[in-house]
Amino acid sequence: MRHHLGENTVYIKDALRGIRFAARRGHEALKENAPRHLPSPASSIAVSALGELETIAKSVEGRFNKIARTMLGVSSRQLMGLSDALEATNSAYAFSDSYYRLIKVVLERYGVEDVFMSQRGLEEAFTKADRSEGILSYAAHLLIGIARLEGTLTSISKRRPDIPCHDLQRVAAFATMVAMLVDTKPHERIEVAYSAAELVLARRETVIQALTREDLQQTLALLEKFCAHV
């Protein structure tokens, strides 16, 4: 029963995030363009309506997340590492939930305000990755799978506008995986994510190259190297 609940949960969460994401994009676009194309009362009403929709969607999503984590036995506060997620009862959900929250932390560190990533896609990558050769090898397989996902950044990094969105997504994905591999206490994992974000950003060229080429051995070697220095 919990397996089916987990599947339905991520579909609902993705749908709610999609609504919030679309509402925010529309809200920002309207704020910028409506005054030029609509009379004042109409533009104000449209902007206000989309702003309210975004707020409602965000509120519903937050409440649903708390309910889902409780029903699936996943702590609402605990950010799991990869090894802990692999041992969890609802391992795919535990991983995708922690990864999603951590990559948002990393992207915010990079000055990115908007991101949409399918949690169901993260679960599928988690399930498909080869686990036969140890956790670092598994993490490399998993990271390449995640890099294939079509996560969407809707705003250029305010901090590094010179980095293309698709490259920044790869850098963020890599830094997030490093943060999930490092052995640390759950309440310290966000600080680890901050450190990983800075370190990977500073040495991003090889990371971008490895993930663009889907080079498993190079990705594995880089994970090992970065984990040793975070």
| The pTM of the whole model exceeds 0.75 | no
pLDDT in tens, 127-183: 999 998 899 999 999 999 999 886 655 555 667 788 888 899 999 999 999 999 999
Domain boundaries defined on the chain: 1-72, 74-230
Q: Give the type of residue at 129.
A: A
Residue with the bigger pLDDT between 26 and 216: it is 216
Backbone angles phi, psi at 153, to 5 degrees: -100, 130
- Of the pLDDT bands very low, low, confident and very high (cuts 50, 70, 90), residue 51 is low
> Which of 89-117 are b and which e, b meaning 16 or more Cβ less than 10 Å from the residue's Cβ?
ebbbbbbbbbbbbbbbbbbebbebeebbb
Within 10 A of 37 (CB to CB), how many other CB atoms are there? 9
The DSSP annotation for 88-106 comes to STTHHHHHHHHHHHHHHHH
